[in-house]
Amino acid sequence: MAKINKNYLKLQGSYLFSRIGQKVREYQAAVPDAKIIRLGIGDVTQPIAPGVIRALHEAVDEMGKSETFRGYAPDLGYEFLRSVIAGKDYREQGCDISADEIFVSDGAKCDCANIQEIFAADSKIAVCDPVYPVYIDSNVMAGRTGAFDSAAGRYDGVVYMPCTASTGFVPDLPGDAPSEVPDLIYLCFPNNPTGAVMDRKRLQEWVDYANRHGSVILYDAAYEAYISEPDVPRSIYECEGARNCAIEFRSFSKTAGFTGLRLGFTVIPKDLEAGGDKLWPLWARRHGTKYNGAPYIIQRAGEAVYSDEGRREVRQQVSYYMENARIIREGLKEAGYEVYGGVNAPYIWLKTPEGMSDWEFFDYLLTKANVVGTPGSGFGPAGEDHFRLTAFGDREETKEALGRIISL
Ligand SMILES: *Cc1c(COP(=O)(O)O)cnc(C)c1O
């Protein structure tokens, strides 16, 4: 008799976004002329840059001619893309990473979710709270957690590291006692949902901790392109010793608007080991067995992001979003809110007003300003009493939304 993987039954429903959608639909039905503005979206809205579109068209044409047609891509990615990534994202930034340490994929979400496969089933994992849910859910599916404790809002058997105003929205280091040391540590900076960053000195402390204890840091740098301050590291490999303890994930999604095109990559240094065994060959084997490569035309589009023209264009898109972030951040401050993020990330994290829960604040914004955001508790219990707004919207709508919030 076939049986299901019962771990899937531990997963909590995608309650957050379905509840938001339902509330917005109900309100719109009750007040049909309300002009609702959505500042809750986690997806880009600007079209793909012209230089990237040109590369896409050229690659499509190559596919239509027998001399230039391409079939299966190499498992780990085309050399033209891996070498431009290693050169421009790493070596030019002073990080010692080579092209054969880059694994090209169709996005960072799958890589963040799949990476746990190459580690032991009994690995102890640590995540930030609030958190991007993929890191936890993928470990729940793999049976690396206990049941969901609804009173606590957490899975048993997972180390949650609270990131609140009192910790500056970065986690405190776990203890050094053997029982406190996690095997796998998920970090995401600049952070979704809080917009917080870890400075270079702080990240170095994490690298030193991991090297001291033989832990591996799984570093999600999906928002690297949004960094504007010089003491914020763009890559974990800017830290000394990170080659011995860290895997890094990057994505073209937020950097260049590829959420619909799909392209990302994972960096695994050749010398990185877990418990004395190398990780690079395992991920290469996994890629080769379970994945047949990102499409040629998309890899060519990714290459174009690194040309002078492509870089200029995608920087403009990031600036567009970051100007929205500034408008939101400053508008909220003017309206008297306690505001975080929005300087090195397209996310603004605000404290809900005294005495209002995050869901009460959601209703308040929806009904009084017709603005939609995301309640912080949806990202973990430590997100309670906070609220996320995103800078991925249209400029005029963003201004209009903030005008409404200020005049409440
Ligand atoms: C958007 C996002 C990603 C990117 O995922 P893709 O699959 O590359 O689109 C990764 N991590 C975080 C935290 C994100 O918010």
How many angstroms does the Cα of residue 359 sit away from the middle of ligand 1? 25
The per-residue pLDDT for 17 is 86
Whether the Cβ atoms of residue 404 and residue 396 lie closer than 8 Å to each other: no
- Taking 50 as the pLDDT cut, the residues of the chain under it are none
Sign of the C-alpha dihedral, residues 40, 191, 384, 355?
Answer: negative
pTM for the full predicted model: 0.97
- Which atom of ligand 1 is closest in space to residue 252's alpha carbon? 8
Which atom of ligand 1 sits closest to the CA of residue 253?
Answer: 9
In the prediction, which pLDDT does 57 show?
98
Here the tokens at position 34 are 């309300």
CB 408 within 8 A of CB 368: yes
Shortest-distance Cα residue to atom 15 of ligand 1: 192
Lookup: tokens for 392: 């991925």
- pLDDT score of 14: 73
pLDDT of residue 395: 97
- Residues 165 and 322: their CA atoms lie apart, in Å, by 22
Question: Which pLDDT value is given to residue 362?
Answer: 97
Distance 192 CA to ligand 1 centre (A): 9
Domains and CATH numbers, the chain: 13-47+309-407 (3.90.1150.10), 55-307 (3.40.640.10)
CA 394 – CA 46 distance, rounded (Å): 8
Contact 245, 272 (CB under 8 A): yes
Q: How far is the CA of 260 from the centre of ligand 1 (A)?
A: 12
Residue 15 confidence (pLDDT): 75
Sign of CA dihedral 174, 177, 180, 184: positive
> Ligand 1: residues whose CB is within 6 Å?
107-109, 132, 188, 192, 220, 222, 251, 253-254, 259, 264
Ligand 1 center–CA 221 separation, angstroms: 9
pLDDT value at position 186? 98
